[in-house]
Amino acid sequence: MFNQGMSRRHFLSHAAMGGAAVLGANQFLSHLQLNAAEVSKNQKACILIWLGGGAPTIDMWDLKPGSKNGGEFKPISTAGDLQICEHLPTIAQNMDALSVVRSMSTREADHMRGAYFMHTGYVPNPTVVHPTFGSVVSYEVGTKRQNLEIPAFVSIGNGGMSPGFLGMSHAPFSVDAGGRIQNADMGSMDQGRLMARLSMLETIEDGFIKSNRGEAGQAHKDVYGKAVNLMKSEQMKAFKLDEEKPEVREAYGRGGFGDSLLMARRLVEVGVPFIEVNTLGGWDLHNDVFNTLKNQRLPQLDKGIGSLVADLKQRGMMDNVTIICMGEFGRTPRINQNVGRDHWATSWSVLVGGGGLKGGQAIGETDADGTRIVSDSYLPSDLWATVAYAMRIPLDTVHTSKRGRPMKIANGGQPIKGLI
């Protein structure tokens, strides 16, 4: 039965005949590459930059010089019509494209509950799991991108939340900052052997499908088809940063966060509509907030976001890509005895921009000590409604939970007026 003398090359050419299904994908890829540049310019996307732990936004986006709560940093002028922290100079140069909502009031000051509220627009509820907004975008936008072979919601750095009642096919697809995908590596196995395997699999699966037992067999085959397409997809190059010029990589900053943002841009270019970046953590600064910000967090944040915005502008993509930078809450205006700031959800700031939203604005206002909002205040549902607006997702969209309860997209929030 076995031809022991068969050479590897011979084996491969035989095996390849069994894998005709794959050829279609390759042809289609070359077509895609031709159009890639055009596609990237017109497709809407959102990059969520998540500051896990809750960033002290009073030291970043809404400084209070002269107040006892003001802290050590000075405000500087920017390319927009507002001032931000002196340790964010690259972002300052690009503030014409970004705005700050300074009147977030989000009531959840616990890490888990706050993260849930900010990601979904809903407060946690024991009877239903709401989808994180990336899953909503996957559901609403991703399913319409026929050419996309990568999942529509990519989470860099294992963040993200649950897809909730929208189902696991809209769950965040996790990669690390090196672009590695769990279990996508075939080791040393060559394509020929993979195809040989797959043709055996196809034979078995088709047999079961033909046995007339309902839809489950075909559904399984379809999912495997997608997984194989992913493993072989040209779009997987989006995860490979070595194609970028060294100066670009330097500009973003080498290491986790800069690499993640660069990868996010590359993912947008192949058509991924939602990317969450969760590789710059450590914002839960109960102690030593100023030194930590000045020496560690802010320089990375500044380089990464500043370069991302400059890059998107230069590529003509800024009007299509919405950027949101936030964590689960802000931090107390009051500085505690450990020179830290504690959890605070009453009055804090979020950075928003791109996607055709107005840049260079400060939306809303807090009082001189930063403890109280003195303008209209906003909820996460308003932020996500703004993103939905920017991504052309109709705001009257309603989803239905598994128990039949209707849920308005973005919890019925309204796009923030000053941004649209």
Partner 1 sequence: MQRAVLSLVMLLGLCGVISAQESTGAKASKFTTGSSDPLINDINQFIRQGWEDNGVEPSEVADDAEWIRRVFLDLVGHVPSGKQVEEFMRDKDDAKRSKLVDTLLADPAYVRNQTTLWTNTLIGRGTPDKTNRAGLEKFLRESFAKGRPWNEVAYDLIAAEGRFDENGAVNYVLAQLQLNPNSEEYVVEATAKTARIFLGLQVQCTQCHNHPFNEWKQNQFWEFNSFFRQALRVDHEKYNPQTGQMDDDYSELIRRNFEGPVYYETRAGLMLVAYPKYFGTELDPGPETNRRLEFARAVTKDDSQKLLAKAMVNRTWGHFFANGFTRPVDDMGPHNPASHPELLDRLTDEFIKSGYDTKKLASWICNTEAYNLTSRFNGKKNEIDNPSNGETALFSHMYVKPMQVEQLYESLLVATSANAAGQGSYEAAQGKREEWLRQFMRIFGADDGEEPSLFSGTIPQALLMMNGPLVQNAISAEKGSYLNEVLSSPSYKKDPDRIRALYLAALGRTPTSTEVKNMSGMMSRYPTPLMAYQDLYWALLNSNEFIVIH
Instruction: Establish if 167 lies at the interface with partner 1 (CB under 8 A).
Output: yes
The DSSP line for 117-175 is HHHHSS--BTTB-PPPHHHHHHHHTGGG-TT--S-SEEEETS-----GGG-GGGS-EEE
- Name the residue nearer to partner 1 (CB basis): 217 or 418: 217
CA neighbor of 201 nearest in space, from 6, 16, 18, 23: 18
Site stretch for partner 1 (CB under 8 A), options 23-31, 40-48, 138-146, 157-165 = 157-165
Instruction: Establish if 171 lies at the interface with partner 1 (CB under 8 A).
Output: yes
Instruction: Establish if 67 lies at the interface with partner 1 (CB under 8 A).
Output: no
- Name the residue nearer to partner 1 (CB basis): 90 or 162: 162
Instruction: Establish if 22 lies at the interface with partner 1 (CB under 8 A).
Output: no
Instruction: Establish if 126 lies at the interface with partner 1 (CB under 8 A).
Output: yes
Instruction: Establish if 185 lies at the interface with partner 1 (CB under 8 A).
Output: yes
- Name the residue nearer to partner 1 (CB basis): 171 or 262: 171
Residue 104 burial class via C-beta count within 10 angstroms: exposed 0-12, middle 13-18, buried 19 and up: buried
Size of the site for partner 1 (CB under 8 A): 66
Among 100, 118, 129, 156, binds partner 1 (CB under 8 A): 129
Distance, in Å, from the CA atom of 282 to the CA atom of 345, rounded to the nearest integer, reads: 18
Distance, in Å, from the CA atom of 126 to the CA atom of 159, rounded to the nearest integer, reads: 21
Distance, in Å, from the CA atom of 23 to the CA atom of 391, rounded to the nearest integer, reads: 33
Q: Do 177 and 252 meet the contact criterion of CB atoms below 8 Å apart?
A: no
Buried b (16+ CB within 10 A) or exposed e, 142-169: beebeebbbbbbbbbbebbbbbbbbeeb
Buried b (16+ CB within 10 A) or exposed e, 222-232: eeeeeebbbbb
- Name the residue nearer to partner 1 (CB basis): 169 or 414: 169
- Name the residue nearer to partner 1 (CB basis): 27 or 127: 127
Residue 241: alpha-carbon gap to chain centroid: 17
- Name the residue nearer to partner 1 (CB basis): 105 or 158: 158
Instruction: Establish if 146 lies at the interface with partner 1 (CB under 8 A).
Output: no
Which residues, numbered 207-226, are part of the site for partner 1 (CB under 8 A)?
207-209, 211-217, 219-224, 226
- Name the residue nearer to partner 1 (CB basis): 173 or 384: 173
Which residues, numbered 363-402, are part of the site for partner 1 (CB under 8 A)?
402
Binding site for partner 1 (CB under 8 A): 1-4, 6-8, 11, 14-15, 18, 126-129, 151, 162-165, 167-169, 171, 173-174, 181-187, 193, 196-201, 203-205, 207-209, 211-217, 219-224, 226-227, 230-231, 402-403, 405
